[in-house]
């Protein structure tokens, strides 16, 4: 699309209108978007076209449309976080990610659906409606960023922004056959990202190919003085690595603890076939043990709810957002939070408040932080032996909508392979490994690298993507979702 725009074969207005038409055509089925900024997107596109006509030097993504997860603030545009608590709220400021997208002249189509306050693995916890998987409309598109991944898989948008607290970019990418990256913690600014778990949240790029993700990653990355956790260091050479794709001589570590029981046979078969392709390209495949990964899920579900309990205390019915009831401040706050939060958000607030309470803090939250340190040490030890670590992204393909909604533990297990990278602050990518033989649905291959070694994800990802495209033919997965097969 970028080449067509640069060559003058199409205009940004034409490209944007085509995607808006596509949204009108299929989003009634997919339900990827909470808000479509029809007029704003076309106005942005007209400005980009004017800049291009005047001969301005534009970024590689100038004029290309993008879908934005509805946990990132965008001035004047409804930002709900998938919650009734913020229904109708229009932020007075842009997040840094949006500021960088504007600087790159990317056209923002609208805001995508997500689990409420990014808490979930299926986008069923949205207060508005569940999003559906374009490969099978009876199935989930992953979560919490299912709206962004579904918009890509249904060709409603070529680029998207997600956020990843425990796998919310990578797990949706896996089950929709798209590509998503959780950058190194602090590699992309969190300013304007509505906080769920401040030590885990990370915004990141999503697209349908590794190179597309690389261009978007470079556009949004970099130090931001507005974010105290932002890393003040050069952005790794991400696009160059994606164009290189040479893994000859690289050591790739297969994590022993992230396969076996609980993993769908078809998912594991595709994972092993992907390893064979990397070996053919000259990579050395070795097994690595990260023994404390077995405790990652339990540690995460103490740390994340604890930070959620603290962060969501700001929704108190006093300053902004929903306000219900009359009487004392406590009565109004109780009525508002009871009505405004969904059951999963309430569950995590209660868990987190309990874990932080007097007499339990050291036993729960304190212990979880010790486990987090051990997991970080596992990564450090592993990266002294190998260049990257790999695993299946998710244990299964997309499950049916409603199948796990009444079983929180079964739902949480979807993130068993993605959570360790968030706890350690390192980076991770998911790209498609093929279609599972049991159900013909996409599976994901996860690549993990050390802090600020994001370029390694792209080098290995590009190599595998190229090999699998040749293997399957007709694109990395061999075919498109039924919804877009025509």
CB 91 within 8 A of CB 112: no
Please give the DSSP secondary-structure letter assigned to residue 196.
S
Q: Distance between CA 211 and CA 459 in Å, rounded?
A: 10
Could you tell me which residues come within 8 angstroms of residue 24 by beta carbon, excluding any fewer than 6 positions away? none
Each residue of 96-124: b (16+ CB within 10 Å) or e?
Answer: bbbbbbbebbbbbbbbbbbbbbbbbbbbb
Q: Distance between CA 345 and CA 352 in Å, rounded?
A: 10
Could you tell me which residues come within 8 angstroms of residue 316 by beta carbon, excluding any fewer than 6 positions away? 333, 336, 337
CB 175 within 8 A of CB 444: yes
Could you tell me which residues come within 8 angstroms of residue 133 by beta carbon, excluding any fewer than 6 positions away? 139, 140, 141, 142, 146, 150, 153, 175, 176, 398, 441, 481
Classify burial at 272, counting beta carbons within 10 Å of its beta carbon; exposed 0-12, middle 13-18, buried 19 or more: middle
Residues designated as active site: 69, 144, 168
CB 123 within 8 A of CB 144: yes
Quick one: tokens of 42? 């076309």
Q: Distance between CA 412 and CA 367 in Å, rounded?
A: 20
Q: Distance between CA 40 and CA 45 in Å, rounded?
A: 9
Q: Distance between CA 471 and CA 479 in Å, rounded?
A: 12
Dihedral sign for Cα atoms in the order 70, 72, 73, 74: negative
CB 428 within 8 A of CB 309: no
Q: Distance between CA 375 and CA 47 in Å, rounded?
A: 48
Q: Distance between CA 303 and CA 402 in Å, rounded?
A: 27
């Amino acid at each position: 699309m970028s080449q067509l725009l640069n060559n003058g074969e199409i205009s940004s207005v034409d490209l944007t209108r085509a995607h808006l038409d596509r949204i009108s055509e299929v989003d009634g089925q997919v339900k990827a978007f909470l808000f479509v900024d029809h007029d704003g997107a076309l106005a942005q596109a007209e400005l980009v076209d004017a800049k291009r006509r005047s001969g301005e030097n534009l970024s590689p993504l100038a004029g290309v449309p993008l879908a934005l997860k509805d946990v990132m603030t965008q001035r004047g545009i409804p930002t709900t976080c998938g919650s009734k608590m913020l229904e109708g709220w229009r932020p007075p400021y842009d997040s840094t990610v949006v500021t960088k997208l504007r600087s790159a002249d990317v056209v923002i189509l609208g805001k995508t659906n997500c689990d409420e306050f990014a808490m979930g693995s299926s986008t069923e916890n949205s207060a508005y409606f569940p999003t559906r998987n374009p490969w099978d409309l009876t199935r989930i598109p992953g979560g919490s960023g299912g709206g962004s991944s579904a918009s890509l898989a249904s060709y409603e948008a070529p680029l998207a922004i997600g956020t990843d607290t425990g796998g919310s970019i990578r797990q949706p990418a896996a089950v929709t056959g798209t590509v998503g990256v959780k950058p190194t913690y602090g590699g992309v600014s969190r300013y304007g990202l509505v906080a769920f778990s401040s030590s885990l949240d990370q915004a990141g790029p999503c697209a349908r190919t590794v190179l597309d993700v690389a261009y978007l990653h470079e556009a949004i990355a970099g130090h931001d003085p507005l974010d105290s956790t932002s890393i003040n260091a050069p952005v790794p050479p991400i696009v160059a690595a994606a164009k290189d794709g040479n893994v000859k001589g690289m050591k790739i570590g297969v994590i022993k603890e992230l396969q076996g029981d609980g993993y769908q046979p078809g998912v594991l078969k595709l994972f092993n076939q992907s390893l064979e392709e990397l070996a053919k390209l000259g990579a050395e495949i070795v097994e690595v043990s990260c023994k404390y990964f077995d405790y990652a899920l339990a540690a995460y579900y103490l740390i994340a709810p604890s930070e959620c309990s603290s962060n969501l205390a700001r929704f108190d019915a006093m300053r902004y957002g929903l306000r219900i009831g009359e009487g004392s401040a406590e009565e109004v706050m109780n009525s508002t939070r009871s009505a405004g939060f969904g059951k999963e958000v309430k569950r995590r607030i209660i868990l987190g408040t309990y874990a932080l309470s007097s007499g339990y803090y050291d036993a729960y939250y304190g212990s979880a932080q010790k486990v987090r340190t051990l997991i970080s040490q596992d990564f450090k030890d592993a990266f002294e032996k190998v260049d990257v670590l790999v695993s299946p992204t998710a244990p299964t393909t997309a499950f049916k909508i409603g199948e796990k909604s009444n079983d929180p533990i079964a739902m949480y297990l979807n993130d068993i392979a993605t959570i360790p990278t968030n706890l350690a602050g390192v980076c991770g990518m998911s790209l498609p490994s093929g279609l599972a033989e049991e159900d013909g649905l996409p599976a994901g291959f996860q690549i993990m690298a050390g802090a600020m070694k994001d370029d390694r994800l792209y080098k290995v990802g590009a190599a595998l993507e190229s090999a699998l495209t040749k293997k399957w033919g007709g694109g990395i997965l061999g075919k498109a979702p039924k919804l877009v097969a025509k």
